[in-house]
Structure 1
Amino acid sequence: MDRVITHIRQMIEYLLMFSLLMMVVINFADVTGRHLFNHPIFGIQDLTEHLMAVVVFCGLPLVTMAGTHLTVDLFDKLTQSSGMRWWKQVITLLMTVILCLISWTFLQSALEAHSIADVSPELRLPRAPLYLLMACSAVLSALGLLYISYYPSAKAQANLPSSSGGEL
């Protein structure tokens, strides 16, 4: 199980790194072409938009598995007590449901975009695969959250902090 999760995590990391590298390269080429040759790259907005979505939604399961989402630690002392362990379970289940709803919404968007052949304005890139990637990312995030919350060795393997950080 751990090998599969490590392999999936590495694939997501490589896709994220490649997408980020491509964003840097095409934007550098666009700025260079615009300023030196007075000729920008056609469709740079479409490419940047799609690559930015890939970067953000590749980062979502990675951040979830690492347990590094932005948190507010105002009530950490209260919620870390032994009598409030149920609260962490409720929050985990609520976050899982929300991630599944996000995935469902993007899946519906992917099906609709496929049925109407929705494409980007300049390069005519199909939007359905991008929405499907977003839906898969949200599902992986939900599964990753359940994995680090309920699989005993996952928290130690991910080096998760016991609290969200700062104390008030």
Structure 2
Amino acid sequence: MGSPSPEETGPRPAGWFKRLEILLVVSGAAIIFALMGLSVSDALLRSFFNKPIFGANDYAQILLSFAIAISFPLCVLSGRLIAIDTLLRRFPAPVQSLLDWSTTILGIAMLAYLAWRSFFNALEAATFGETTLLLQLPFAPSYYAVAIGCGLSALVLLLERITK
């Protein structure tokens, strides 16, 4: 199974959508490569020298939260959201449009709620000083990243629907 055609994924983003997509791809790739390097280095040092990287799991946990936060808006921008439209195609065009809008509004509401909850979780984590186990890295930046990622996803989803 190859990648979907442009007709299946919709038009590619233009203007600042495209620049945002490039920024997210580059940032996400850098984080994933850092995570890969950390994991491989930790495994090699542990296996050959019995000297694992102290706190590698803490670093991995934080890096992974940032990678996930970046993936939310990237999925929206690249048109990779999951949609099962088998039944939708059987309805008349006005009903399809109404259901498309309803689905978009529901998606925006869910992403906005996740952004709101993540933001308040970040405030609580900062207030209570929640940290990782070994290195005591604060959790608040991870929650803020997820809040920003979900909020940006909701905004991009709305803007893409409006500009269609």
TM bracket (short chain)? 0.7 to 0.9
Q: 1:54 aligns with which of 59, 66, 72?
A: 66
Q: 2:49 aligns with which of 27, 30, 37?
A: 37
Q: How does 1:147-166 map to 2 (within 5 A)?
A: 147-152=159-164
Letter in 1 for 2:148: C
Q: Which residue of 2 aligns with 1:83?
A: 94
CA distance in 2, matches of 1:123, 1:100: 31
Alpha-carbon shift at residue 70 of structure 1 (Å): 2.3
Q: Secondary structure at the match of 2:37?
A: helix
Q: CA deviation at 1:51?
A: 1.2
Q: How far does residue 83 in structure 1 lie from its aligned partner after superposition?
A: 2.9
Task: Give the structure 2 partner of residue 135 of structure 1.
Answer: 147
Gaps of 5+ in 2: 1-13
Counterpart-to-counterpart distance in 1, 2:107 and 2:146:
16
User: What is the match of residue 160 of structure 1?
Assistant: none
**TM-score, reference length from structure 2:** 0.85
Residues paired across the two proteins, number: 150
Percentage identity across aligned positions?
23
Letter in 1 for 2:94: G
From 7, 10, 24, the counterpart of 2:22: 10
The alignment partner of 1:18 has SS state of helix
Q: Equivalent residue for 1:23?
A: 35
Q: What RMSD, in angstroms, separates the aligned Cα atoms of the two structures?
A: 1.5
Matches within 5 A, 1:98-113: 98-113=110-125
